[in-house]
Amino acid sequence: MNLNLDFATIFERWPAFLQGALLTLQLAFIATALGTVIGVLGAIGRRSSHPIVARICGIYVEVIRNTPLLVQIFLVYFGLASLGLKFSAFAVAAAALTINVGAYTTEIIRAGFDSIPRGQIEAAEGLALSRAQIYWYVVMWPAIEKVYPSLTSQFVLLMLASSVTSQISAEELTAVANYIQSDTYRAFETYILVAIVYIILSLVMRAGFWLLGLVIFPRRRRLGTPL
Amino acid sequence: MHKITRTDTASSVVGLSNVHKSFGALKVLNGVSFEVNRGEVLVLIGRSGSGKSTALRCIDRFETIDSGEIVVCGHRVSDPKLNLRALRQDVGIVFQSYNLFPHLTIEENITLAPCSVKGISKAQAKEQARRVLAQVGLEDKLHQYPEQLSGGQQQRAAIARSLAMQPKVMLFDEVTSALDPELTGEVLKVIEALAADGMTMVMVTHEMGFARGIANRVVFMHHGKVHETGPAAILTSPATPELAQFVGTGL
Ligand SMILES: Nc1ncnc2c1ncn2[C@@H]1O[C@H](COP(=O)(O)OP(=O)(O)OP(=O)(O)O)[C@@H](O)[C@H]1O
Ligand SMILES: [Mg+2]
């Protein structure tokens, strides 16, 4: 057995890797931001006293959680195409990832909402706050603080899963790697390097979420105790 | 038994007349009537399950009633078209489990409603937070979080939070029941000071000594009815055997 690794030819392509990594981060950022919005709205919808709204949100979550991401991506990709709409592969990938992670965040945030004691909400009602104000000030912030670790793990998972969008030729990190390895015939080296870049991206994201947590949860920052 | 003839007199702050309320098959309030005038302290007592909390919660429309009438500060609480948030601006309620918002400082807990409901400025609200906290003896806790306070301090902060909305009547539901005896006193002192200031109050309590001292009127609930009512003196010389037995065991 003779393992002959040649990283030099791979390292030469670093600008392409960097491009791919940045695109992966962009996808992750867009899907995290929009997915959070969808998650909050979806969680409110699932808890709605309006049965149709609650039902629609429930179906959305179940459909997404019970189908493969790749199939969801193809559905968005070919669905838009069959409607005669032309979007870039990046836009389609961002949309599909957002729809996907939105369902998972809906469930996570809903669990957070459900963990807010009834008494907190009654106290807020007793102070004459409106429903929207109660959701915003009394339910959402502590709920998100409670589920923040699950939420951020989900977003890191999503970043890793975004490699699947290489299938519709979004030019993210894995697609770049696929191209480089077929060009250089150095497949093993390429994917070792790609794995390392993904690890770095994960660490970057975790550090980012940690910093964000310090900013948006002042109580946590000051006391360090879980809510 | 106490009979309400008018619930809309100028000095009547809370009036219940012939209120009925069931949870499913369980009849909890079975024709309850009482009235609280401005500046009065009404104490609700009775065995566990007699409907005290339910009666109190109906006043602030945390429960809807099946029949009868409730008028609070001119709001017809039993009216389906009630302006709920207007009612709740006039009524302050404090629960047994303080229910401070854990992610907000004491100051933020207190300023939240005045700022977002009444729309007063941040600066004004902070000024007021300082004032109500001084009233309950916690001016040094402004920037602490609820978990940094003892139970008694949290309950006093919860009272301050209600006071910041400048309610016309305060409702207290067993606000000292979750507290150790030595912490109970500090909360009761705050309530006594409020009463002395002329705040109209309806409170549920098991502290009979306290009730005797503070009540203008006592309502003894039994099987969903006002079984006996009168001045604080009825606690020492009850007219009905049920109240006699209750204060006998309750003391
Ligand atoms: N939301 C509810 N659903 C069903 N039953 C309820 C509800 N709230 C109260 N009850 C029942 O109504 C009865 C009266 O309850 P309530 O809380 O008013 O009693 P209480 O006099 O305050 O008792 P305690 O001294 O134990 O607090 C009890 O039997 C209780 O189990
Ligand atoms: Mg009770």
Query: Model confidence over B93-104: pLDDT tens digits?
Result: 999 999 999 999
B64-87 confidence digits (pLDDT tens): 999 999 999 999 999 999 999 999
Please report the pLDDT score of residue B152 as a whole number: 95
ipTM of the predicted assembly exceeds 0.95 = no
Q: Whose CA is nearest to atom 30 of ligand 1?
A: B49
For residue B104, the chain A residue with the least C-alpha distance is A219
B151-206 confidence digits (pLDDT tens): 999 999 999 999 999 999 999 999 999 999 889 999 999 999 999 999 999 999 99
Instruction: Please give the distance, rounded to the nearest whole angstrom, from the Cα atom of residue A101 to the centre of ligand 2.
Output: 44
Average pLDDT of the residues of chain B? 93
Residue A82 pLDDT more than 70?
yes
Average pLDDT of the residues of chain A? 95
Residue B250 pLDDT more than 80?
no
For residue A141, the chain B residue with the least C-alpha distance is B103
Q: For the whole model, what pTM was predicted?
A: 0.91
Q: Binning pLDDT at 50, 70 and 90, where does residue B4 land?
A: very low
Report the distance separating Cα B7 and Cα A182, nearest Å.
87
Q: Binning pLDDT at 50, 70 and 90, where does residue A196 land?
A: very high
Which chain B positions have a beta carbon within 8 Å of A129's beta carbon? 112-113, 116-117
Q: Which amino acid is at B162?
A: S
Instruction: For chain A, give the DSSP string.
Output: -------HHHHTTHHHHHHHHHHHHHHHHHHHHHHHHHHHHHHHHHT-SSHHHHHHHHHHHHHHHTS-HHHHHHHHHHHHHHTT----HHHHHHHHHHHHHHHHHHHHHHHHHHTS-HHHHHHHHHTT--HHHIIIIIIIHHHHHHHHHHHHHHHHHHHHHGGGGGGGT--SHHHHHHHHHHHHS-HHHHHHHHHHHHHHHHHHHHHHHHHHHHHH-HHHHHH----
A115-153 confidence digits (pLDDT tens): 999 999 999 999 999 999 999 999 999 999 999 999 999
Candidates B84, B103, B143: best to mutate against A (most CBs of A within 10 A) is B103
> Which CATH code is given to the segment(s) A26-170?
1.10.3720.10
Please report the pLDDT score of residue B10 as a whole number: 60
Please report the pLDDT score of residue B7 as a whole number: 45
Cβ within 8 Å, pair B102-A126: no
Please report the pLDDT score of residue B249 as a whole number: 62
Residue B3 pLDDT more than 60?
no
Which chain A positions have a beta carbon within 8 Å of B116's beta carbon? 129, 133, 137
- Which structural domains are found in chain B, ordered by start? 9-99+169-250 (3.40.50.300)
Give the closest of A123, A138, A142 to B95, CB-based. A123
